[in-house]
Amino acid sequence: MISEDSAVVRPPVLRPGDAVALVSPSGPTSPERVARGVELLTGWGLRPVPAPNAYARHGYLAGTDDVRAADLNAAFADPEIRGVICTRGGYGVQRIVDAIDMAAVRRDPKVVAGFSDITALQFALWRGARLAGVHGPGAAWRDERTPLRSAESLHAALMTTGNVSVDAVPAEDTFAVRVPGRATGTLLGGNLCMIVASIGTPDLPDLTGAVLLVEDVQEPPYKVDRMLTQLRRAGALDGLAGVAVGQFTDCGDGWDTTIVDVLTERLGDLGVPVLGGLPIGHGPDQLTVPVGTSATLDTETGTLTVSPAVR
């Protein structure tokens, strides 16, 4: 078994009959886009409950800051709600994380699932409550991008208490990014843009001894270079145990330098194991992993193994 940090708060595993809140803390969505996610969750025996403002719209946000924060806090405070599943990412959760009722989160910890912009929410919950989370697809489900294997992966992370193992896939664009070795540490991170946007805030975690997860979408190589360089110059990568590289989807821009070149150059000299090719992120066949729990990265076997976010 992977060793576990005793300070980590792992919420109860979801069980058939549990109610789960569908919240939109970032960008807007619609009932039509969430319908497939509701169908999946219902099929697992869960009771999806859209938050009052789940389908609100305020420009590029899913409602005003007040209503998005209110939906999150209501879900955290309601004893009937046993999990929080974000509908999608987009943008906006950093605007409301300081309004989260962390006392309610600590009083009744619940599993929170999402990715992309939701990385900022998971960082805030880690800082404020040491709450482990689930980095995986949201309820605005798209079968063409997240087929059966993706659904099974999310189900396992939410509704079972076994370790989660993800294998590097040769077909992934980042598969060639590799620095040999084996590393164990708390898996932290997610979307690279949101990690960088957390620099200078209370929410950027101390990555000393951690395995850093990075993924992104529609960012050209020079911007990925810029973000990794900023993390390096800020000292955020000092003391890392390893780097798990997920999907960098649609990250080409016509230059001769590829995303693999940039990731290899900016991560390859950190002196830690690096494993690319993991189907975690915005690409097809996205898989789910816990974050905030202990992980082992092994480049020889090409696997990332993570202890569960739930108990």
> What is the Cα gyration radius of the chain?
18
* 282 annotated active-site: yes
Residue 182 corresponds to which tokens in the numbers above? 């084996």
The pLDDT of residue 4 is above 70: no
pLDDT: which is higher, 6 or 17: 17
Region 172-193: mean pLDDT is 98
**With bands split at pLDDT 50, 70 and 90, how would you rate the model's confidence at 6?**
low
The pLDDT of residue 1 is above 80: no
Pairing between β-strand 111-114 and β-strand 164-167 as defined by DSSP bridges: unpaired
The answer to whether the beta carbons of residues 34 and 140 sit under 8 Å apart is yes
Region 136-155: mean pLDDT is 97
C-alpha–C-alpha distance, residues 273 and 237, integer Å: 13
Which among 198, 215, 219, 294 is annotated as catalytic?
215
Region 170-182: mean pLDDT is 98
What pLDDT score was predicted for residue 253?
A: 80
Q: Which run of H or E residues covers position 242? A: strand 242-249
Question: pLDDT per residue over 52-108, tens digit each?
Answer: 999 999 999 999 999 999 999 999 999 999 999 999 999 999 999 999 999 999 999
Number of continuous H segments (helices) and E segments (strands) in the chain: 8, 14
Region 210-219: mean pLDDT is 98
Phi, psi of 264 (to 5 degrees): -65, -40
Region 12-38: mean pLDDT is 98
What pLDDT score was predicted for residue 264?
A: 98
- Which SS3 state, helix, strand or coil, does residue 120 take? helix
* Residue in this structure with the two tokens 């940039």, named with its chain if needed: 262
C-alpha–C-alpha distance, residues 263 and 41, integer Å: 36
Region 178-204: mean pLDDT is 98
The answer to whether the beta carbons of residues 246 and 279 sit under 8 Å apart is yes
Which among 26, 150, 282, 294 is annotated as catalytic?
282
* 172 annotated active-site: no
* 116 annotated active-site: yes
The answer to whether the beta carbons of residues 27 and 60 sit under 8 Å apart is yes
C-alpha–C-alpha distance, residues 297 and 41, integer Å: 30
C-alpha–C-alpha distance, residues 181 and 178, integer Å: 9
Which among 116, 153, 198, 307 is annotated as catalytic?
116
Amino acid at site 155: H
Region 138-160: mean pLDDT is 98
The pLDDT of residue 254 is above 90: no
pTM of this prediction exceeds 0.95: yes
Region 246-270: mean pLDDT is 95
Question: pLDDT per residue over 274-295, tens digit each?
Answer: 999 999 999 999 999 999 999 9
